[in-house]
Structure 1
């Protein structure tokens, strides 16, 4: 007889240990959680942004972003399973692992602010993606590393697209640009 409670507790214990170590699998869980929540935020923005040039961009780019992020979630989860890593499969895990912030009030913000919030989320995700790449390479999880590099490139391109619509320099107002300045 399968002891579901014992298996569940073992997985929770393993997840806790791996998130404190951290491992590539644990860091990819953060990436997956961020992508999942980001899809919701994109949905909110595309539904509630007020009519202007930014809304046209979001109604075109938003569904594309959601589809691409859903694809990355599926592919990342596959690589987690392929390596015997833990796969986040509950909303509780997603909410625990995400580092993105959501708010019901975002839908009332001006369109430019809603788009910039999504761009900042792409930027926040890069921090987890780069750390996951390093860990995957260190652990010889090359398929995970390759997929994460692909995700990194795609997100950088989306940051540029969004910043262009806003008339910003590609790194304007982003945390990663501030971190780069701190290193000088």
Structure 2
């Protein structure tokens, strides 16, 4: 093996270890992977949704993508600054994303596509609240601040979209059933 292959193999060993511990960096790696995957899913819905959901996504979808990719960039830089591992390959993004995708979803009713995006936002909160606790524990202040900003932004998008769909803020969301009363802020 070449020196670069050896270094990458060591990085993969470290990554596996950190994901089993877990560390703040590993948890945040899931978040960046989720952001990248969610941006693709928003793009799909923005292109294929019909009806009122298409108008909603035309107004908000592009801004969501831009915001998620801006967070993705800022968070990756914060990971790198703390010497944490940064998922940078498509293989790593697919491995660490906890969001699922289905190409057939583009043919679903527009409101169903929009609600799938809301559920993905909600899934991201699970990892973000864990990352907030881990960054506090590990003293990673810049990462902690970014996690809190991302949490607040996602909660706002969930509320906005749920209102558009005629839902209560937590209606139909898995986190509402799992809420243990812990606040991330």
TM over 0.5: yes
> Taking structure 2 as the reference length, what is the TM-score of the superposition?
0.95
| Deviations 1:48-79 (CA, angstroms, capped at 9, x unpaired) | 011x2211001111100000000000000010
Alignment of 1:172-183 (within 5 A): 172-180=171-179
**CA distance in structure 2 between the partners assigned to 1:124 and 1:136 by the alignment:** 19
Once superposed, what is the RMSD of the aligned Cα atoms?
Answer: 1.3
Identify the residue that residue 125 of structure 1 maps to in structure 2: 124
Map 1:1-184 to 2 at 5 A: 3-50=3-50, 52-180=51-179
**Distance apart, 1:180 and its partner CA:** 2.3
Give the Å deviation of 1:9.
0.3
- Aligned positions, number: 181
1:181 is displaced (CA, Å) by 7.4
> TM-score, with normalisation over the residues of structure 1?
0.96
Q: Which runs of 4+ in 1 moved over 6 A?
A: none
The one-character-per-residue Cα deviations of 1:69-122 (angstroms, maximum 9, x if unpaired) are: 000000000100110000100000000000001001110000010000000000
- Equivalent position SS for 2:100: coil
Measure the CA separation in 2 of the matches of 1:98 and 1:69.
14
Structure 2 gap segments, 5+ residues each: none
* Gapped regions of structure 1 (runs ≥ 5): none
Q: Secondary structure at the match of 1:172?
A: coil
> 1:182 offset after TM fit, Å?
9.9
Question: Per-residue deviation at 1:167?
Answer: 0.4
Distance 1:124 1:181 in 2: 15
